[in-house]
Chains A and B, each alone.
Chain A
Amino acid sequence: MPFLELKEVTKGFGANGSRTEVLRNINLQIEEGEFVAIVGYSGAGKTTLINMISGLASPDSGQVSLGGKPITGPAKDRGIVFQNYSLLPWLTVSENILLAVDQVFPDWPPEKKSHHVASHVAKVNLSHARDKRPAELSGGMRQRVSVARALAMDPQVLLLDEPLSALDALTRATLQDEISRIWQDNRKTVVLITNDPDEGIYLADRIIPLSAGPGATLGPSIPVDLHRPRDRKTLNQLTRFKEIRSQVIDYLLASAPKRTEVQKTLILPDIEPEDLSIPKPLMGGRKQPIRRGDIRRESVEI
């Protein structure tokens, strides 16, 4: 029996009349300790999918279950890392993590809690910033705090909802390496939602494309049979890597709705350049800009 299972899950939004179905017939089975990446277009319903696993949203029909028990709401056995960090700005790095630890391990003595917090701050290389507030941190650092908060809950499943999509490419790569390292240390079940096929292939055991919405559904599950630890530099050259990537991308492209051609006339800016360094008169304000279409006579010096 699979550890985490979605069976015939369907979810839509809106009232009866204007209702759009976001996800349709989602079937997903994840084994314990597996790292699964789901890749799809923005707006296809990836966040809705992971919200149903986390329990923040519930499916209209079908069932989500963890360890054989149906998921009815959020619980401490699933840690989630949100796309926009979702840290509380009035708490420091340590306090943000402590808030989660307090919830999950209320009976621990304070020293054990603070030790637990400190070790997770260290795990994401943020010990130097543990007393800073989120506003003082860069995007990458904030997301690391968010990862540490989820890990500190010691969840059975770690849900990563596009954790790196708001970051620049270099920070992204660094954090991918960190996620990869942390996962290899503790081998938790991870569901990663991403819009970057390369990221999915680099990190996951299995990559599944989500077709374009509305009514998105999961495509074929593609095993990423590349040995670990994976090296970013050589990965790009591997034939198998290229095969997996093209399989994912081909599926995604084929699922996208055909674009219809739109006829549009271009309107060029109708304005004459002027010298802005000429000081404007004290009274009367700036002159109106001169529009080309308004010029009746043009003098040309020969």
Chain B
Amino acid sequence: MIEDLLQSSPGLMNFGIFFLLAVVLLLVVLGFVTYAILAERKVLGYMQARHGPNQLGGKWGLLQTVADVLKLLIKEDVIPKAADRPLFIIAPIIAFTPAFMVLATIPFTDKFQFADIGVGLLYYIAVSGMTVFGMVLGGWASNNKYALLGGMRAGAQMISYEIPLVMSVLGVILLTGSLNLTDIVLQQEHGWFILYQPIAFIVFFIASIAELNRTPFDLPESENELVAGYFVEYSGFRWAFFMLTEYVYMFAMSSLITVIFLGGWLPPLDILGFIPGAVWFAIKFCIVVFVYMWLRATLPRFRIDRLMEFAWKVLFPVALANIFLTALIKTLFF
């Protein structure tokens, strides 16, 4: 269905259809974010031997996030007097837009994808790198030293960890010979890349946690050193945008890991092929999201000086070695 649309001639009608589909995707993502926050609080709660939200919306607290969002929406929108007003306003938008843009290239099933870009993987990495501006500018525009520190940390961390992220995924690109995400999934029919590229997977996963600013790499927003990080001065809806960015990235990054390493919509065994691809995608996606929450509950925060050393002295050489090894294996055996 989408395939025909993508190849049909452009027109107002198609524009309308794509616009509607994008709005639907946005709503789905917002629904995911709402329940991902709840799930995160529940998982964290049970891992720390408590219950988490359980008052609003029944035993499971199903309406807790809805109420939180409503509270944020009706909150007063405060802009500090000493802040750089235009930048302060534009920063959450700069942070959020790329987070939603990257979703366009991710193939959810073989029939449902918004843009079949030849360099899909590169597009994801390039566009997601733009978010860091939103954070740095937000931190700077707040005119607050904690916010500035948080923004600086976010910038340094995300730029540093982008390099092992790209380098680790190069092993997969070497094996597939393509940057197109659909091709990458189709190449995994005989075995997922997590089996062929375990080192790349580990490096990619660690770097992705750092890109998402989640514990143990949540130094840009560590609440006990920096109050809250780059969004200290933000309140209400603008703050919600930063949070939304974070969780939309979690959605995007989990999808990307599913697509690159876990075989996307393909079933693990051919016998299980009767279950539709969307279900497989959802299952793998949920597992990745759960692992992110699990790590957040388990690991303490990194120290700032070890953070950079870890990226440049451990992850980066390991990723380079993985490329070398993959190239060697490919020329010798394939």
Real binding pair: no
A residues with a Cβ closer than 8 A to B are: none
Instruction: Enumerate chain B interface residues (CB-CB to A < 8 A).
Output: none
